[in-house]
C-alpha cells in the first residue's frame, strides 16, 4: 500500500483531518463535542457551537441515562398517594407522586409499575400514559413520562424502597388537597405539579378514563 493510499483509507494517518463537519441543530451549528463527565446516572458533554447569530460559544448538555417516570394513582374514594423524601440536590424535603428512573430499553409503563410498588406498596390494573415532558430543557435532554393509574390493590409486604430512599414515607390524601397544595406552591416537584394540573383540566373537559372520572366527579 502506498503512502497516498494510507492517507485516504486511514483516518489516523499523518495529515488526515479527523474533525467532523459542522452539524446543524436548528439555527445552531455544532462544531465539536467533547465528553466532560460521566457516572452511572448522567453524562455531561461540552459542545463548541455557533449560536443563532453566528457567534461562537460553549454549550453544556446533561444527558440522564434513564427516563424520568412518574405515576399518579387515583383511588375510587378520590384519594391519591404522595411520597415524601429529602432531595439531596435541592437540600430540601419534597412531597411528590411516586416517581423515579426507567431504563430506556424497558417499557415505560413497566418502570412506572415498579416505582408504584416500591414506593407505595400498591399495584394498578388500569394505566394511561398522559404526559411526555422535558425537564430543564435549556441544559438537559431529559424526557419524563407521566402515568395515571387506577383500580389499585395493596401488595403483601408493603413498600420496598431502595436504600437511597430509606427516609421515604407515604401518605394517602384527597386529590383535591394535592391540587390545592400545587396551586399554593407547596408542592414544587415539576412532574407532580404538571400531572396534577393536567388531571384537573381533563376532569373538567371530560377527558379522563371512566373509572378516574367517576372517582373525581
Average pLDDT value for residue range 31-59? 97
Average pLDDT value for residue range 26-35? 96
Cα–Cα distances in angstroms (integers) from residue 7 to residues 4, 11, 22, 151, in the given order: 5, 7, 22, 66
Of 44, 64, 84, the domain-final residue: 64
Task: Using alpha carbons, select from 204, 217, 216 the residue that is nearest to residue 75.
Answer: 216
Confidence tier at 143 by pLDDT (50, 70, 90): very high
Instruction: Tell whether 20 and 74 lie within a shared domain.
Output: no
Q: Do residues 148 and 115 make contact, with C-beta atoms less than 8 angstroms apart?
A: no
Rounded Cα–Cα distance for residues 78 and 98 (Å): 17
R_g of the chain, CA atoms, integer Å: 23
Of 14, 39, 64, the domain-final residue: 64
Task: Using alpha carbons, select from 181, 108, 93 the residue that is nearest to residue 143.
Answer: 108
Instruction: Tell whether 21 and 75 lie within a shared domain.
Output: no
Instruction: Tell whether 41 and 100 lie within a shared domain.
Output: no
Q: Do residues 196 and 182 make contact, with C-beta atoms less than 8 angstroms apart?
A: yes
**Which residues, including other chains, have CB under 8 Å from residue 83's CB and lie 6 or more apart?**
95, 96, 97, 98, 119, 120, 168, 169, 170, 171
List helix spans (H) across the chain. Answer: 3-9, 108-120, 175-184, 190-205, 210-215
Residue 169 structural domain: 66-215
Of 64, 81, 111, the domain-final residue: 64
Average pLDDT, the chain: 91
- pLDDT at residue 40 greater than cutoff 50: yes
Rounded Cα–Cα distance for residues 81 and 151 (Å): 13
- Name which residue leads in pLDDT, 190 or 162: 190
Instruction: Tell whether 160 and 123 lie within a shared domain.
Output: yes
168-200: pLDDT as tens digits? 899 999 999 999 999 999 999 999 999 999 999
User: Do the strands 122-134 and 99-103 form a parallel or antiparallel pair, or are they unpaired?
Assistant: unpaired
- Name which residue leads in pLDDT, 60 or 156: 60
- pLDDT at residue 45 greater than cutoff 80: yes
Phi/psi for 110 (5° steps) reads: -65, -40
Q: What predicted TM-score, i.e. pTM, was given to this entire model?
A: 0.86
- The gap from C-alpha 3 to its chain's centroid, in whole angstroms, comes to 51
Instruction: Tell whether 102 and 156 lie within a shared domain.
Output: yes
pLDDT at 73: 98
Instruction: Tell whether 88 and 37 lie within a shared domain.
Output: no
pLDDT at 79: 98
pLDDT at 4: 43
Instruction: Tell whether 10 and 98 lie within a shared domain.
Output: no
Q: Which residue has the cell 417516570?
A: 69
pLDDT at 19: 54
121-135: pLDDT as tens digits? 999 999 999 999 999
Report which DSSP code applies to 155. P
6-28: pLDDT as tens digits? 444 444 444 444 456 789 999 99
Kindly report the CA angle at 99 between 170 and 150, in degrees rounded to 5?
75
Amino acid at each position: 500500500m502506498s503512502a497516498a493510499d494510507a492517507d485516504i483509507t486511514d483516518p489516523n494517518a499523518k495529515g488526515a483531518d479527523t474533525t467532523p463537519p459542522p452539524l446543524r441543530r436548528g439555527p445552531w451549528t455544532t462544531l465539536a463535542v467533547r465528553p466532560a463527565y460521566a457516572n452511572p446516572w448522567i453524562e455531561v458533554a461540552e459542545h463548541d457551537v455557533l449560536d443563532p447569530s453566528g457567534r461562537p460559544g460553549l454549550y453544556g448538555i446533561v444527558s440522564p441515562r434513564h427516563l424520568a417516570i412518574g405515576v399518579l394513582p387515583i383511588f375510587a374514594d378520590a384519594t391519591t398517594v404522595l411520597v415524601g423524601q429529602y432531595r439531596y440536590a435541592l437540600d430540601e424535603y419534597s412531597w411528590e407522586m411516586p416517581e423515579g428512573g426507567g431504563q430506556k430499553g424497558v417499557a415505560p409503563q413497566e418502570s412506572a409499575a415498579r416505582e408504584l410498588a416500591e414506593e407505595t406498596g400498591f399495584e394498578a390494573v388500569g394505566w394511561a400514559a398522559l404526559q411526555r415532558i422535558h425537564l430543564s430543557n435549556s441544559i438537559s435532554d431529559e424526557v419524563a413520562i407521566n402515568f395515571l393509574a387506577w383500580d389499585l390493590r395493596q401488595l403483601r409486604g408493603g413498600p420496598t424502597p431502595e436504600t437511597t430512599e430509606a427516609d421515604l414515607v407515604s401518605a394517602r390524601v384527597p386529590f383535591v388537597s394535592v391540587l390545592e397544595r400545587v396551586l399554593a406552591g407547596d408542592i414544587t416537584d415539576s412532574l407532580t405539579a404538571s400531572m396534577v394540573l393536567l388531571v384537573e383540566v381533563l376532569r373538567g373537559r371530560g377527558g379522563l378514563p371512566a373509572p378516574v372520572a367517576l372517582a373525581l366527579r
